[in-house]
Chain A
Amino acid sequence: MIKSIKNWILVGFASLLLAACGQDGAGSKKSKTLENTKKAGFVKCGVSEGVPGFSNADASGNWSGIDVDVCRAVAAAVLGDADKVKYTPLNAAERFTALNSGEIDILSRNTTWTLSRDADIGLTFVGVNFYDGQGFMVRKSSGINSVNEFKDGIVACTNIGTTTELNMRDFFNSKNIKYEPLGFKSADEVVQAYDAGRCDTYTTDKSGLAAQRTKMKDPSEHKVLPETISKEPLGPVVRQGDNVWEDIVRWSLNTFIEAEEYGVNSANASSLKESDNPAIKRLVGAEGELGAAFGLDNEWSLRIIEQVGNYGESYKKHLADTGIMPNRGPNQLWTKGGILYVPPAR
């Protein structure tokens, strides 16, 4: 028996170490991830297990959502076809390991940008594609209208290994409320537990609450409380060490957002090649040699806009029209009163 446990441990160690291998990050101008992506013919993208509006698969397995569009943009830029993406659904527990081990090359899965994640575990956040904040959902019948009405003994459910879990503790401590935390591995389990009455409140990012509400037995029975208890800037993540790949993903995202700022969308992009505005001309690849900086041709950004659209189009399609988050709130362009502000592509 002891011997077989030993074997088991050895095998465990071996597979663990194997998982830690993966590809080497190159610090030079050449990007191993880019080479491998071109060789494979698809972008390896880590997404959620299903958050409507962000990354969700339909009945026939087609992924859509604003997080999915980040990967699609990278595929359009790198491979010329936004559909050449291989999606790997991951729970909160698996996501960073999957990225670190090279199973995926981009993690675009409503992940909060924090110092320790960025600096400590070999990852790099490339930007923010959704400014979010943590909120609470309760049953309408509970009669609770504000987080200030929570009382000792309330059962709060969330996902383990998330910033939500940490914020939840900070929040209840600051309010001096003795709560019962209950943490599940996957979001679906939390939804089930909350729906069955095991938990009195469900806490996660407000976008997540809005999306998960659609999965409840009766969505109209639940409501999200108005208070926001944290900042949750969500964005795509890449492995640390491959600077070129990091730049490609960062600027695919920035282009995606900047296109909206300049009114360039999937319908008019190619006609704007003759535009008078040099910024627009750079966006559609009619001026400058921006793609060369990371080993791509000059039309990389045009392909993103043509095939995926701009941020505004994506938001409207996935979050506004679906009724998940009709109000853009902080996720409006800086020129229109929001905080979406990306560095210029020039």
Chain B
Amino acid sequence: MNFKNISFQSKKIRNLIPQILILTVLFSVIIYFVTNVQTNMGNRGIAFGFGFLNQESSFDITFSLIDYNGSYSYARAFLVGLLNTLLVSVIGIFFATILGVIVGVSRLSDNYLISKVAEWYVEIFRNIPLILQIFFWYFAALRALPLPNEAINFYDISFLTVKGFYVPKFIWNNFNFFIIAIIISITAIYFLRNYARKQREQYGRQVPVFIFSLLILLTFPLISFFLFDVNLSFEYPVLKQLSPSIFTFDGGVNIIPELLALALSLSMYTATFIAENVRAGILGVGKGQKEAALSIGLNKNQVLKLVVMPQALRIIIPPTTNQYLNLTKNSSLAAAIAYPDIVLVFAGTALMQTGRAIEIISITMLTYLSLSVAISVFMNWYNKKMAIKEK
């Protein structure tokens, strides 16, 4: 009895010793580095501090989602960069997901041509380094576009030029009523779905939820247009001459080629990985499941929606989370093509203008860490929601 007790304790201690050792080494390394930096910075007369964040940045940024110019602070410039990173990540994730699902499903298609095209797409875009794809789109494809005076014209409302893709700008009147209408429709659809589920589970009645939802989504905003004077007008880009040979477009919104190139390459590259995840997910659902579902009288759509997808998603979501994280981090390659993301604006321009390398790189790394953790927390939550609950 006594002997057993001691051996239990010694095992505990045995487990503890290496952990303590590792922690000690880790902390001494960190302390060594920190003191080393302090001494070296002290010797060179470099000050450490975050006060610079409140200083006027005095540089302008090509493209910003919020009000910004050089009279704002470095902190504001950081925010501009962060929002630009988020923008390109969200656009990239959106299109990568759509394209990825389409390509993934296409690879399983019975149609030889479709499945082969999808396969080639995956093999080509997955195996070329992302930075080269970005360079290809930016330096080869988008740089070959014509000048504004010879723009590629889309029905006189959008213009593709070497200076960017000029599209009409939406100008809303009474926009808040429109938003309210959308919120009402979404709430209505939520209740409709609940009602439909009850009907199905209690009485076995099928309610065509999709068609009703679409109707609701159209009706309420339409009502808002007619009753509350909501209206939408467009501001079209118009060619403007600055000098005998310099032209630009006035009005509208300019999607700069840097953003186009980055969003294109990020989504096309990441889509290949998502496509493979989707394919793996669908193939991972046993054939028996589908046959069983068909045999109890579900139609093909229902089989996909109620039986295959819920199980496939379990397989698809975790690796796709990784791809979303990768895409977000890969967006930092923006710096290579002058898209003003957080790396170019903050860890680039701001760092060089202030010379505060350690502060700025730490902030940038922390930002990416928080972004990635946020995405992975969200995707873990979604994964848990989608996981099959054992009953």
Segment touching A, from B43-51, B88-96, B181-189, B308-316: B43-51
Whether a CB of chain A sits under 8 angstroms from the CB of B280 is: no
Say whether A241 contacts B245, CB under 8 Å: no
Complex CA gap A185/B369 in Å reads: 24
Complex CA gap A116/B41 in Å reads: 16
Say whether B244 contacts A198, CB under 8 Å: no
Q: How many residues of A contact B (CB 8 A)?
A: 63
Complex CA gap A182/B376 in Å reads: 33
Complex CA gap A180/B362 in Å reads: 30
A-B pair count, CB < 8 Å, reads 165
Chain A 165-200: CB-based contact to B (< 8 A → 1; otherwise 0): 110111001000000111111000100110011101
Say whether A20 contacts B58, CB under 8 Å: no
Say whether A120 contacts B355, CB under 8 Å: yes
Say whether B37 contacts A165, CB under 8 Å: no
Closest chain A residue, CB of each to CB of B257:
A198
Tier of interface size on chain B:
35 or more
- A residues 228-272 with Cβ under 8 Å of B? 239-241
Say whether B62 contacts A197, CB under 8 Å: no
| B166 vs chain A, min Cβ distance (A) | 11
Given A120-B47, A122-B44, residue A182 in contact with residue B62 (CB < 8 A): yes
Say whether B46 contacts A121, CB under 8 Å: yes
Segment touching B, from A78-86, A152-160, A205-213, A332-340: A152-160
Segment touching B, from A8-16, A284-292, A300-308, A313-321: A8-16
Say whether B245 contacts A143, CB under 8 Å: yes
Whether a CB of chain A sits under 8 angstroms from the CB of B351 is: yes
Given A143-B244, A160-B349, A183-B349, residue A20 in contact with residue B47 (CB < 8 A): no
- B residues 281-322 with Cβ under 8 Å of A? 321-322
Complex CA gap A117/B354 in Å reads: 8
Whether a CB of chain B sits under 8 angstroms from the CB of A142 is: yes
Whether a CB of chain A sits under 8 angstroms from the CB of B222 is: no
Segment touching B, from A54-62, A89-97, A128-136: A89-97
Given A17-B36, A154-B242, residue A24 in contact with residue B62 (CB < 8 A): no
Given A1-B376, A2-B376, residue A151 in contact with residue B355 (CB < 8 A): no
Complex CA gap A141/B242 in Å reads: 12
Complex CA gap A96/B36 in Å reads: 19
- B residues 1-46 with Cβ under 8 Å of A? 29, 33-34, 36-37, 39-41, 43-46
Residues of A within 8 A of B40 (CB): 20-22, 24
Whether a CB of chain B sits under 8 angstroms from the CB of A100 is: yes
Taking a contact as CB atoms closer than 8 A, the residue among B47, B242, B322, B356 that contacts A200 in the complex is: B242
Q: Which residues of A contact B (CB under 8 A)?
A: 1-2, 5-6, 9, 12-14, 16-18, 20-22, 24-25, 92-93, 96-97, 100, 116-117, 120-122, 139, 141-144, 149-155, 160-162, 165-166, 168-170, 173, 180-185, 189, 192-193, 196-198, 200, 239-241
4 interchain residue pairs of minimum CB distance:
A161-B352, A121-B355, A122-B44, A143-B244
Interchain Cβ contacts under 8 Å between A and B, 8 examples: A9-B369, A92-B352, A141-B244, A150-B242, A153-B250, A160-B348, A185-B336, A185-B344
**11 further A-B pairs in the complex, CB-CB below 8 A; given A9-B369, A13-B365:** A1-B376, A96-B355, A100-B46, A151-B242, A153-B240, A166-B59, A181-B60, A183-B349, A192-B139, A241-B44, A241-B45
